[in-house]
Amino acid sequence: GAVVSQHPSWVICKSGTSVKIECRSLDFQATTMFWYRQFPKQSLMLMATSNEGSKATYEQGVEKDKFLINHASLTLSTLTVTSAHPEDSSFYICSARDSLSYEQYFGPGTRLTVT
């Protein structure tokens, strides 16, 4: 089956620093990837749609300068949380859409804690 990986699976960083999260489709190509954010006991909130070779499309209310998304290849999208603050602590999940089948597969998530 199709596999999406995320790295790191968890990260602790200090307030004011930046952290990068990688999302990779391991056995398929993904022109489009999605980034979600989830707080405890809450739903997944779509942050942005990442398109290979073009700028990401951000959902309303998401700061594009704070959450930098780069989709440089058909198998890799990265989310960089810049100048992180404790309120950015959350579970970040990516999903990748298979370019051929259009099926969408989720990564295992990255738990970010900002101290």
Partner 1 sequence: AQKITQTQPGMFVQEKEAVTLDCTYDTSDQSYGLFWYKQPSSGEMIFLIYQGSYDEQNATEGRYSLNFQKARKSANLVISASQLGDSAMYFCAMRGPWGQGGKLIFGQGTELSVKP
Q: Which stretch binds partner 1 (CB under 8 A): 14-22, 65-73, 77-85, 92-100?
A: 92-100
C-alpha pair distances (Å), 29 with each of 9, 13, 16, 102, 111: 22, 31, 34, 10, 25
- Is 102 an interacting residue with respect to partner 1 (CB under 8 A)? yes
Q: Which stretch binds partner 1 (CB under 8 A): 21-29, 61-69, 74-82, 93-101?
A: 93-101
CA-only gyration radius of the chain, Å: 13
CB atoms within 10 A of CB 63: 10
Q: Which of 32, 75, 78, 90 binds partner 1 (CB under 8 A)?
A: 32
CB atoms within 10 A of CB 56: 21
Looking at the Cβ atoms of 14 and 102, the one nearer to partner 1 is 102
Looking at the Cβ atoms of 38 and 82, the one nearer to partner 1 is 38
DSSP 3-state of 4: strand
Q: Which of 11, 13, 44, 62 binds partner 1 (CB under 8 A)?
A: 44
**How is residue 39 written in tokens?**
């707080």
Beta bridge partners of 29: none
Question: Interface residues with partner 1 (CB under 8 A)?
Answer: 32, 34, 41-46, 49, 57, 91, 93, 95, 97, 102, 104, 106, 108-109, 111
